[in-house]
Amino acid sequence: MRGAVRSSAGAAKLPEGTEAIQVDAIGPHTDWSGKLDGIDTVIHLAGRVHVMKETTDDPLSAFRYVNTAGTEHLARTAAKTGVRRLLYVSTIKVNGGRTIGAPFTEEDEPAPEDPYAISKWEAEQALKRIREVTGLQTVVVRPPLAYGPGVKGNFLRLMQWVDKGIPLPLSMVRNRRSLIALDNLVDVLVRCIESPQAAGQTFLVADGEDLSTPELIRSIAKALGRRARLFPFPSLLLRLGTKLLGMEGVSNRLFGSLVVDSSKVKNLLSWGPPVSVHDGLQQTARWYLNNH
Of 1.10.1760.20, 1.10.530.10, 3.40.228.10, 3.40.50.720, the CATH number of 1-142 is: 3.40.50.720
pLDDT of residue 237: 77
One-character DSSP codes across 207-230: -S--B-HHHHHHHHHHHHT----B
pLDDT band at 56 (very low <50, low <70, confident <90, very high): confident
Mean per-residue pLDDT, 210-237: 92
Catalytic residues: 116
Span 108-153, pLDDT tens digits = 999 999 999 999 999 999 999 999 999 999 999 999 999 999 999 8
The answer on pLDDT for 214 being more than 90 is yes
Q: What global pTM score does this model have?
A: 0.92
The answer on pLDDT for 240 being more than 90 is no
Torsion of CA 165, 171, 176, 181, to 10 degrees: 20
Mean per-residue pLDDT, 220-240: 88
